[in-house]
Structure 1
């Protein structure tokens, strides 16, 4: 199953673009600024979340104003099985709406139809970034497998904000007990989902050969107790400390993803840029394999091939062939993709326009 008949209307620099007769490999090439990544971003919005750029909705609206629209067919064995779409109306620019087979649906429900993964250049510094960036990374991966994860994260964070306000005001313990119960309930679900994902990813990565991509070893470090009763007790015990700090110092919002390179045991942040990129690719490929189980899976790779040597590039294509995900790749020229050009659907992108080759 794959995405086909993908339509963009007034999305960034695409006034009206359509991609038909897609394949397992799909290649978009053109000059920088032509609109290649905009297509990937539009596709990423056919899944729960804020898309691969995490941009505000009004930043995605094209020059015509009055909102944007993105739609696609889910194709199975050559036949359309569903039509999914998302749009923003001009009079409601702050709200993204979703339709599935013409009926109104929630953004979270998109995760039941398609699992989306991506690797974009801005992710290259993940191992050097903050713990918060790595938590968002894990949450994004978890969302592709467990669509309800985003709701649990949102409710946990909302409960923590309310708890901070109550602590600041010196509220009665009854109110604190109630809000901490909510935080512990959703916090447990968040932590368990993250921990299970890291464990499953680690198993998938362990089965892979070390070459040609550096194999990462993942460890989930919980920021507090995982089980609800213990987490609730910890919140209550730490009220004086948290009141003085102005924030909760224990809980899933303090989780950390630790990554080291197999063999050397060197922390990913201390590895070379090339090694970090190779480990990140390995994680994304392992996740894509997991996400493809039971649902259509789409993998978006922005400017990946150009940064790999020929051996690793060929190995990447081989791994992608073996997977079940529909793959979308971008590049400024066709040369790095010659190995897959004959089996790919190819478009030239120029000034927000698409030409099928």
Structure 2
């Protein structure tokens, strides 16, 4: 968990400092005040592009010098810092314990999970959106997954570029790229499969309450000899301008377990419940595996739940690590007793 969070020139926060407690961290304020920006800052302390997935240059405060900084202290007195410099607004700099570090190392120190209003469309969204969601779940359990994903995607981009100009392509380099894709692709595919299996068990063991159980499966790529598949698909991939086989084509298939119905055919309320239930089961799995619960970021979740489901959510979250929540009205947090309560107004925190 975080014991200190400092923001400098991040989004609409010129200079902000929060010293949260170990349980709920409740942020109330009007739309546009900067509540979600705070959650986004916390999400950037884990591997990846954060809960919005926007370019780093867009995160710097418009009235600032073009860079930003986020500094956090963890409960173990470990300091983590990330940010960008004005001269390199798209380069993420990471410091851990005062030393420069690779961004993928962040997952070794902190697990962060989030739920935002944009994710309400997850089950009806693209396969890519669900795949990125799944990868975030894997990151929290296996931090090395971030390394395999980034290396696989880099090799795939280079291969696509070579296939676009076959007359100039170096055959040995093409083979090397496909070998790298096979190595990292097998690793990331196996990690996804392990997470799906473990998460299925965690969901089955979770309470039968107001959040329905989901059943999960992977589709789109079932493994096999990826190196051979890539070699056989060169002509087709070159004509298409992209790689058509591999774990980057996988999709997360979700069903309402009780109804045996695809999640995207469920009602809006059922989809919300499935997503929350999935996140809660995963948080419990992370706590079991890593020995400490993840930091949860729940953006405007309470506003879209009826009082009974809000109470059920608060009850499930109580005593399970640090939970950051936002709402436009503080009354939506009624029923939560022990919390750090903050009001956000136009980039200022009280």
**Fold shared, TM-score > 0.5 on shorter chain:** yes
Q: Which residue of 1 aligns with 2:97?
A: 101
Q: Distance in 2 between matches of 1:65 and 1:163?
A: 38
Q: Which residue of 2 aligns with 1:314?
A: 311
Between 186-195 and 157-166, report the one with greater CA deviation.
157-166
Q: Which residue of 2 aligns with 1:8?
A: 7
- Describe how 1:10-25 pairs up with structure 2 within 5 A: 10-25=9-24
Cα deviation, residue 51, structure 1: 1.0
Cα deviation, residue 72, structure 1: 1.5
CA RMSD of aligned residues (A): 1.7
Q: Distance in 2 between matches of 1:272 and 1:108?
A: 37
Match of 1:199 among 193, 197, 221: 197
Does residue 1:73 correspond to 2:73, yes or no? yes
Classify the secondary structure of the residue corresponding to 2:326. Answer: strand
Q: For 1:163-215, what per-residue CA distance to the aligned partner results, in whole angstroms no more than 9, with x for missing partners?
A: 23333333465443322111111110110111111111111111123321111
Q: Give yes or no for contact 2:22–2:322 (8 Å, CA) kept in 1.
A: yes
Q: Which residue of 2 aligns with 1:92?
A: 88
Q: Distance in 1 between matches of 2:149 and 2:67?
A: 28
Q: Which residue of 1 aligns with 2:330?
A: 334
Between 248-257 and 160-169, report the one with greater CA deviation.
160-169
Q: Which residue of 1 aligns with 2:36?
A: 37
Q: Distance in 1 between matches of 2:72 and 2:21?
A: 11
Q: Give yes or no for contact 2:284–2:293 (8 Å, CA) kept in 1.
A: no
Q: Give yes or no for contact 2:209–2:312 (8 Å, CA) kept in 1.
A: no
Q: Give yes or no for contact 1:224–1:250 (8 Å, CA) kept in 2.
A: no
Q: Which runs of 5+ in 2 are unaligned?
A: none
Task: Go from structure 1 to structure 2 and tell me whether the alpha carbon gap of 1:164 and 1:84 turns closer, same or farther (over 3 Å shift).
Answer: closer
Q: Distance in 1 between matches of 2:6 and 2:102?
A: 20
- Describe how 1:1-357 pairs up with structure 2 within 5 A: 2-62=1-61, 63-76=63-76, 81-170=77-166, 171=169, 173-226=171-224, 230-292=225-287, 293-295=290-292, 297-323=294-320, 325-340=321-336, 342-355=337-350
Q: Distance in 1 between matches of 2:156 and 2:178?
A: 8
Q: Give yes or no for contact 2:112–2:296 (8 Å, CA) kept in 1.
A: yes
Q: Distance in 1 between matches of 2:165 and 2:326?
A: 52
Task: Go from structure 1 to structure 2 and tell me whether the alpha carbon gap of 1:163 and 1:104 turns closer, same or farther (over 3 Å shift).
Answer: closer
Q: Distance in 2 between matches of 1:172 and 1:321?
A: 58
Q: Give yes or no for contact 1:113–1:296 (8 Å, CA) kept in 2.
A: no
Q: Which runs of 5+ in 1 are unaligned?
A: none
TM-score (norm 2): 0.93
Q: Distance in 1 between matches of 2:158 and 2:213?
A: 41
Between 311-320 and 100-109, report the one with greater CA deviation.
100-109
Between 22-31 and 284-293, report the one with greater CA deviation.
284-293
Q: Distance in 2 between matches of 1:165 and 1:101?
A: 39
